[in-house]
Amino acid sequence: MSAENPVVAIPPDLAKAIEQLEGLCPDQLLATVFFGSHLLGTSPGQHSAADAFFVVDDYRRFYQGARTIINGWPPMMAALNRALPPNVVYLPGPVSGGVKAFIISARDFRRAMGSRAKDHFCRGRLSQQVAVVHARDRSTARRMDDLLAQARRQTLEWVPVYASAPFDVSEFCKTMLRVSYGAEVRPESPDRVDEVFASERDILTRLYQAVLDTGATDGKLLRDGTGFRRAVDPTWRDRMRWRVYFARSKIRATLRWAKYVLTFSGWPRYIAHKLERRTGIRIELTDAQMRWPLLLAWPKVARGLIALKRHQKQFPGARNEDRHEDRHKEQNEKT
């Protein structure tokens, strides 16, 4: 288990996925990092999949070993993984919504969590509350914890650029979440950041208070009353650097949506369920639309995403349950 999460209830579907992959690829699965709504307890529904990064040794050998439970030609899956890591695949589970598995090699994981990361995809998810629920050995578990701690420390480089000074640990964490969520196109409700922060408040404030204190000790931050500010005000180059970084992250995140068509089995139904859970917008998919998703399902999913954006603009501060009620009222009025 991760040092930050010594006791974690592993969902049965995730436990089964780890057991299957260990049996099929005993030399390839290095570690599993659990994150997301099932870990946080933020509104996971009956169709919600557990989220986890699976860190592997070699892409091609992993997919070759796991070909009985992961759809896709192993050489193609490996090539896609190398081109734009991680791959996201769906692993059905015996109990509820299965597992959304983020496949990434140890080498790509180190880069994605470090200062040379090409985008924010991994750091944005794993700078929050996570748990290393499986590791091949103690040395691997320590390396995973070190990389996760490194990602948290690196927030000192960019969060103060966006936060209003002076900022306390709560403002620091909310800014981190807000900017991270903004770096992607995701079917999430406007109050998602507040919901996530409320669920993680205790552990985030503990982890990031230590990060801020270290930043002050190292001279990157200055104490300002009960808060902090950057030791040196950000220049226009600093702002432009991070603006470009997050813009590139959004482009690469959008490209991953196109890749999901090839790697994520049942992606139209997953998106439809996520839209319904987050927004109350219901999308019914027929068997024909599931068989030919690009021809028949994608237009309906796209309309749902457009409707989500319109509804967010109409009710920018509404809570999830309020939006659901408003959406149901609209549907009833139409009928």
Reported as a pLDDT band with limits 50, 70 and 90, residue 309 is low
Least confident of 61-75, 175-189, 250-264, 301-315: 301-315
For the range 108-117, what are the long-range contacts, defined as Cβ-Cβ under 8 Å and sequence gap of 24 or more? 108/81, 108/82, 109/53, 109/55, 109/147, 110/147, 112/85, 112/86, 113/147, 113/148, 113/150, 113/151, 114/147, 114/150, 114/151, 114/154, 115/154, 115/157
Domain 12-252 has CATH 3.30.70.660: no
pLDDT in tens, 74-111: 999 999 999 999 999 999 888 778 999 999 999 999 99
CB 267 within 8 A of CB 293: yes
Tell whether the model's pLDDT for residue 310 goes beyond 70.
no
CB 89 within 8 A of CB 68: no
Q: What's the confidence (pLDDT) of residue 325?
A: 43
Q: What's the confidence (pLDDT) of residue 271?
A: 66
Q: Within 13 A of 324's CA, how many CA atoms are on the CB side? A: 8
For residues 186 and 317, which has the higher predicted lDDT (pLDDT)? 186
Domain limits of the chain?
A: 12-252, 266-334
**Strand locations in the chain (E):** 29-35, 50-56, 87-91, 99-105, 131-135, 221-224, 227-230
The secondary structure of 135-159 as a DSSP string is: ESSHHHHHHHHHHHHHHHHTHHHHH
Q: What's the confidence (pLDDT) of residue 278?
A: 58
Reported as a pLDDT band with limits 50, 70 and 90, residue 293 is low
pLDDT in tens, 18-35: 999 999 998 999 999 999
Beta-bridge mates of residue 186: none
For residues 303 and 205, which has the higher predicted lDDT (pLDDT)? 205
Cis status of the peptide bond prior to 75, with omega within 30 of 0: no
pLDDT in tens, 168-226: 999 999 999 999 998 887 655 667 788 889 989 999 999 999 999 999 999 999 999 99
This prediction has a pTM of 0.83
